[in-house]
Structure 1
Amino acid sequence: MPTLASHIPAVPASGIRRIFEVASRLDDVIGLHVGEPDLPVAPHIIEAARQAWAEDDTNYTANGGIAPLRRAIVRKLAERNGLHVDVEQVWVTVGAVQALHQALGLLVRAGDEVLVPDPGYTSFTMSTRLLDAVPVPYTLRPDREFLPSVEELEHLVTDRTRVLIVNSPSNPLGRVFPERTLRELLEFAREHDLWIISDEVYEHFTYADPHVSIASLDEDDRVFTAFSFSKSYAMTGLRVGYLVTPHGLAETMRTVQETTISCVSVPDQRAAVAALEGEQEHVAAAKRHYLENLEAACAALDARGIRYLRPTGAFYLWVDVSHVSGGDVAQWCEGFVVEQRVALAPGSAFGRSGEGWVRVSLASRREHILEGLSRIPAPPA
């Protein structure tokens, strides 16, 4: 009997999806475990996709995406991110997940090492393992304001290290890295001749420090950047993202896109064009909505003495439940969703340092957020 590739068992399962599966078998669950915006897609975006279907615009496109979308992305990058790129550096992907995996697939071989944030988005580790490379966690700790330490990175880097993954605003912490931190990370990557993959999916949602694209500070062409329409425009199910590459990779990217996805659905791409070129007030309104949810959630936790990290970006709240989770927050979350009908993402799903914490999505209805938080036991007085 043939067997799977020997490295496949090392690919970790998603701890978030585990809670998702348990919750899907239950009734009346308050879902605070996934980053699913509770706001509707703007009408002009829906209309663009509808028109594409009505016109039977459903054929193959160029591997990199339709020209109007790539050009719109180039304009957006210049205006919002300070990135001045040409069309052949922009590649439309099946969400940011494919963009991240595509970038890693270009950069690592079996046994290579990738520096990943801990806590950090689950796909960073999963994709690295799927490519038979080795994730090496670097910690984001409360005593450092959840910012990376170059001193720690210096102790972790080896002659097998190829990539540093950076995520700002971060998932799950909601931490926005200031420009000085990004410059320090670039200098570290330069000294050790590393690539950087930057996940900037939550770029539109910052509440204190402004979002800065690390590629806008890069002078060596060593940064790949993953963006997405999913969170900013509530288009999670349409699966449209894009990867911005360094110069000179057009022929390589055409090949890897062809062998993985060929191209993204045309109606979804036309919806993405409408998202970028249409009015942006609904994005600003979403940001206000999430900030109001954040304020309400923080007030509720403060009133009950439950510790949390106040985010400066994204739409998550990182909540300390170590007083009740008994050293196994994943198991506690499974019991909590069954007994209390509230689904939370266990912090350990995002790395070892997430033990004792849970990630709470603030993209849900406010009354659901407050009710869900009210069911978390308060610490003893």
Structure 2
Amino acid sequence: MPSLAPHIASVPASGIRRVFELAAGLDDVAMLVIGEPDVPVPHHVGDAARRAWSEDRTGYTPNGGIAPLREALVAKLARENDLHVHVEQVWVTVGATQALYQAMGLVLASGDEVLVPDPGYTTFSMNAHMLDAVPVPYALSPDHGFLPDLEAMEAAVTDRTRAVVVNSPSNPLGVVWPREVLQGLLDLAARHDLWVISDEVYEYFTYGTPHVSIASLDADDRVFSAFSLSKTYAMTGVRVGYLVTPRGLAPTMRSVQEAMISCVAEPDQHAALAAVTGDHGPVSEAREHYRRNLGLATDLLAEREIVHLDPQGAFYLWIDVSHASQGDVAGWAERFLLEQRVAVAPGSAFGRSGEGWIRICLAAAPEVIERGLRALPAPGA
């Protein structure tokens, strides 16, 4: 049997999926491990997809997506993100997962370095390894409010650094980056002529802190922005996202989209169009559901004196279990699942800085969250 490309062996496995797959084989598990909305897809979105199928709208579309959807996204970006772009800068993708991979593939060559947040979403490092590039973590630590230390980031830049990944609101932390921090990172990128790849999947879920799209501050076309409909509209399995590129890349994007996916399925695009242009009441209701769950969870953790980060966005809680995990939170999370029937994501799955922490998903029934959190060992217990 021929061998695979040597760099493929360096792609790390997902510590989140490890726990999820173990949990899938057990009964009566409190599932707090996977970041998936627990609310139904809005009716008008499902209706649009069914209508497209019944009308046999199942052919190829332009590589970038159907024109009404791209135009609706241009209007949405101007209205909600203060981001004013041409339709040829907006490319409909198979979720934000493809958008992020596409952006990295455009700017990273073999051996190039990309700065990635630590803790940060696992795909950032996995993508870099898939491209035979080198992910270089920058720490998001309690000492800096889980925001980047820009001086330390700059010290990590080498002559091989090509890009930096930004994720706000953050998965797994729920931190929302302030405008001044985003501007400081853009200034750093300009000094070293770096690309910026921004993951804004959780843009609609913030709690008292406004979301700022870093591309709205970009004066010299160095930002790629990845967005998703998955979390916002409870469409995780539909797989629709979009990538917003700097100007002038339309011919290149047509080629890379054709090579990678050709186009997103047309019924899915019609569902996305209905989601973007339709009633956003369900989105507001989902946000309030997550906010209530957040209040329930943080009150319970405070009562039990368990250290945690009070998030400003997304729908996760970052919880310190170092008093129990003894330096191996991945192993502890597996034992916790088997003994307590509670599935949580080990913080080490998100990078070295996550050791001793866990991430739980707040997109769940309140009773499931309460059961899971009451099972956590309290300090001194």
Q: TM-score of the superposition, structure 1-length normalised? A: 0.99
- Aligned amino acid, residue 84 of structure 1: H
> What is aligned with 1:174?
174
Counterparts in 2 of 1:104-183, with a 5 A limit? Answer: 104-183=104-183
Distance in 2 separating the partners of 1:192 and 1:209: 30
Distance in 2 separating the partners of 1:119 and 1:320: 13
> What is aligned with 2:282?
282
| Alpha-carbon distance, 1:373 to partner | 0.7
Counterparts in 2 of 1:17-56, with a 5 A limit? Answer: 17-56=17-56
Counterparts in 2 of 1:201-220, with a 5 A limit? Answer: 201-220=201-220
- Aligned amino acid, residue 266 of structure 1: E
SS at match of 1:225: strand
Structure 2: gaps of 5 or more residues: none
SS at match of 2:227: strand
* CA-based RMSD: 0.7
After superposition, what is the alpha-carbon deviation per residue over 1:276-322, rounded to whole angstroms, capped at 9, x for unaligned? 11111111111111010000000111111111000000000000011
- Aligned amino acid, residue 108 of structure 1: L
> What is aligned with 2:355?
355
- 1:300 equivalenced with 2:300 (yes/no): yes
- 1:240 equivalenced with 2:240 (yes/no): yes
| Alpha-carbon distance, 1:267 to partner | 0.9
Distance in 1 separating the partners of 2:72 and 2:300: 41
SS at match of 2:13: coil
Distance in 2 separating the partners of 1:60 and 1:133: 32
Counterparts in 2 of 1:73-88, with a 5 A limit? Answer: 73-88=73-88
Distance in 1 separating the partners of 2:18 and 2:277: 37
- Aligned amino acid, residue 110 of structure 1: S
> What is aligned with 1:317?
317
SS at match of 2:367: helix
SS at match of 1:138: strand
Distance in 1 separating the partners of 2:367 and 2:302: 17
| Alpha-carbon distance, 1:208 to partner | 2.3
Distance in 1 separating the partners of 2:26 and 2:267: 34
SS at match of 1:238: coil
Distance in 1 separating the partners of 2:154 and 2:267: 46
| Alpha-carbon distance, 1:335 to partner | 1.0
SS at match of 1:196: strand
Structure 1: gaps of 5 or more residues: none
Distance in 1 separating the partners of 2:338 and 2:255: 46
- Aligned amino acid, residue 143 of structure 2: D
Distance in 2 separating the partners of 1:242 and 1:190: 25
User: How many residues are treated as equivalent by the alignment?
Assistant: 381
Distance in 2 separating the partners of 1:375 and 1:150: 38
SS at match of 1:369: helix
> What is aligned with 2:7?
7
SS at match of 2:6: coil
- 1:99 equivalenced with 2:96 (yes/no): no
After superposition, what is the alpha-carbon deviation per residue over 1:244-277, rounded to whole angstroms, capped at 9, x for unaligned? 0000111100110111111111111100000011
Distance in 2 separating the partners of 1:301 and 1:148: 26
SS at match of 1:236: coil
- Aligned amino acid, residue 332 of structure 1: W
- Aligned amino acid, residue 330 of structure 2: A
State the percentage of identical aligned residues.
66
Distance in 2 separating the partners of 1:285 and 1:268: 23
> What is aligned with 1:261?
261
SS at match of 2:318: strand
After superposition, what is the alpha-carbon deviation per residue over 1:88-138, rounded to whole angstroms, capped at 9, x for unaligned? 000000000100000000000000000000000000000000000000000
Distance in 2 separating the partners of 1:306 and 1:291: 19
Counterparts in 2 of 1:330-349, with a 5 A limit? Answer: 330-349=330-349
| Alpha-carbon distance, 1:150 to partner | 1.1
| Alpha-carbon distance, 1:149 to partner | 1.1
SS at match of 1:7: helix
